[in-house]
Amino acid sequence: MLITFFRSVILYLLVLIVMRFMGKREISQLQPFELAISIMIADLASIPMSEVGIPIWSGIIPILGLLAMHLIISVINLKSTKAREILCGKPRILISKGKIDEKALRKERFTINELEERLRSKGIHSLGDVEYAILETSGEVTVIQKPGKRNTTLEDMQIKADYEGIAYDLVVDGRIMYKNLEKLGKNYKWLEKEIGKFGYKPEDTLVATLDGKGQFFCQKKGG
């Protein structure tokens, strides 16, 4: 029983490391070759994990082999456009200039109902509102609405927006993010002074952030 436990821990850590090397894509954004490798890794890890009679190396070596294969294919994918088309396919336009391309739907085995479902997930409830719909290689559908149906932007209203930037975490659960303070040109004394205005110390802070407009937010632990 103890051997099974340790084998499971080792294989779990190995799969975790391998998946980390494979990148940060969501499952829905995996390319076909990435999805195939992910499924094979899961199967290879499960066999020596449950069967004590099988040497653990019977799972580790093939998993590392698949990782090497993934890295090689990724490099080829980056270097060669032709290889990228073969491995990942090409985006296909399903709706062009407001007209549904029936041939494209048949080639991708897409039904009208499935297309409508994908559009609804994007907040679009009518096919008549769509100028272009593109099926990406990841399986996601990118939608460009007709000009009259798009949400009004500040640019449309000729309003210039102020720069916002991103908010930096300065304290998370009492832990001070010194690297972020350094990026902002701040130090611990400045942080202590700002949080001190609320009557407590950085170490007692649940979260403290500073955004691109200079707005400071903080909240005390338990408060």
92-149 placed in CATH 1.10.8.50: no
Average per-residue pLDDT for the chain:
85
Question: Could you report the per-residue pLDDT of 155-209, keeping only the tens digit for each?
Answer: 777 777 777 778 899 999 999 999 999 999 999 999 999 999 999 999 999 999 9
| Structural contact between residues 102 and 118, judged by C-beta atoms closer than 8 angstroms | no
Q: What is the fold of 168-220? A: CRO Repressor (3.30.240)
Q: Percent helix, strand and coil across the chain, each rounded to 5?
A: 50, 15, 35
Question: Could you report the per-residue pLDDT of 57-91, keeping only the tens digit for each?
Answer: 888 888 888 888 888 888 888 888 888 888 778 89
pLDDT for res 217: 93
Q: What are the structural domain ranges in the chain?
A: 2-86, 92-149, 168-220
What are the phi and psi torsion angles at 125 (to 5°)? -110, 0
Task: Tell me if 92-149 shares its fold with 168-220.
Answer: yes
